[in-house]
Amino acid sequence: MSVFNFRHWMQLSPKDWVLRFISLGLAIALWNYVGGEDIVNKNVMVPVEVINLPRDLVISNQFKKEIEVSVSGPRSLILDMGNRAISRQVDLSRATPGTMVLENTNDVISVPRGVKVLRIQPKSVILSLDKMIQKQFVVNPVTVGTLAPDYIMKSIRMEPESISITGPRTVLSQFDVLRTKPIVIGGLHESSQIQIPLDLDPVIIDLIGATTVTADLDIEVETVQKKIPAIPVKVEKNGKLQRVTPATVSITVALPKTLIRNKVDLHSLFKATATDEQNNGQMQVKIIPNREFENPISILKIEPQIVTLIEEVTPENSTKKEKQK
């Protein structure tokens, strides 16, 4: 047999010898690259990938997005793992609301052939699954400070008035309204619009992010009601003052509180006149402010609203009446 093999080798052409030496060299090189390469141990971080999460469910807890995997294998394969899309997949296609504990066994990580998983930390992935709901929250303004003296806050309108949030039922059920950060109104004396952030719990920020709303502040002067009696009714006809009955009226007005505090003569603020719109001697009383006011004054009531013109008795008028008789 050995003689036959020797004769076979001797009969090979130089070309065959070259091809066989090349094959032998490649085999030796491959063995050195794979079989003879250094074996190393290394810890690598592998992302946790959640797949097939049902649309009506949400993960409501904070879980580790990466796990630490200890691997062993040829140095080149270990270094190449960073270029591969290796992950710890978590399939939630059959998940239901509640807590799931998923064990991190060595076979849950798909590593290249020739690489061995030694250990995984942590030992498990814990997920809390909750129903996804949508809830409407009213935005409530929070104010600090005091307006300027004699001014009141008539209303605060929020834009938007409410915000719809989609999230875990157990999270959203903890809250009833959304509140703004403090709106400083100290010393304000006129209406204004203010951009103000919402004062949100961290779990709500995770759902909608930092959010700013608009507060529309409607501020007006504080008023008091006062009755001003005995305001003379002055009527002119053909450039002459006419007499009416009753000769005075009383008015009820809403005045800025500052006028009362400053003890202004209220009678000096108004004058009364009357017009005969129906030309029958019954005259409608009108109240006219004597000057312009920085803040509007409301006339709430006039008593009486109608006065009667008193015709002056003259010889001419007397003669006309006698002829009419």
Alpha-carbon separation of residue 250 from 43, 48, 244, 268, 274 (angstroms): 94, 83, 15, 14, 14
Hey, where are the domains in the chain? Answer: 2-35, 39-131, 141-221, 223-316
Does residue 1 carry a pLDDT above 50? no
> What are the φ and ψ backbone dihedral angles of 64, each rounded to 5 degrees?
-70, 125
102-111, 171-180, 278-287, 303-312 — which one is most confidently predicted on average?
171-180
Tokens found for residue 54: 């049902």
**Mean pLDDT, residues 223-241 taken together:** 89
- Comparing 10 with 169, the larger pLDDT belongs to 169
For residue 75, give the nearest of 117, 33, 26 by alpha carbon: 33
Computed over every residue of the chain, the mean pLDDT equals 85
For residue 274, give the nearest of 307, 248, 298 by alpha carbon: 307
**Distance separating alpha carbons of residues 15 and 20, to the nearest angstrom:** 9
Q: Which of 3.40.50.20, 3.40.800.10, 3.90.15.10, 2.170.120.30 would CATH assign to domain 39-131?
A: 2.170.120.30
Q: How confident is the model at residue 3 (pLDDT cuts 50, 70, 90)?
A: very low
**Distance separating alpha carbons of residues 309 and 246, to the nearest angstrom:** 9
pLDDT digits (tens, 9 = 90+) for 41-95: 888 889 999 999 999 998 888 888 999 999 998 888 888 887 788 899 999 999 9
Lowest mean pLDDT among 92-96, 157-161, 313-317: 313-317
Percentage of residues of the chain with pLDDT beyond 70: 84
pLDDT at residue 182 in the model? 97
pLDDT at residue 140 in the model? 97
For residue 141, give the nearest of 159, 115, 118 by alpha carbon: 159
pLDDT at residue 91 in the model? 92
Query: For the domain 223-316, what is the CATH code?
Result: 2.170.120.30
| Domain 39-131 matches domain 223-316 at the CATH topology level | yes
Does residue 184 carry a pLDDT above 90? yes
pLDDT at residue 157 in the model? 97
pLDDT at residue 310 in the model? 86
Is the link from the previous residue into 202 a cis peptide, with omega within 30 of 0?
A: no
**Mean pLDDT, residues 22-35 taken together:** 62
Give the end-to-end CA distance of the chain in Å, rounded to a whole number: 172
pLDDT at residue 21 in the model? 63
pLDDT digits (tens, 9 = 90+) for 272-296: 999 887 778 789 999 998 877 777 7
Does residue 158 carry a pLDDT above 90? yes
Lowest mean pLDDT among 21-25, 121-125, 179-183, 258-262: 21-25
Does residue 299 carry a pLDDT above 60? yes
Q: How confident is the model at residue 312 (pLDDT cuts 50, 70, 90)?
A: low
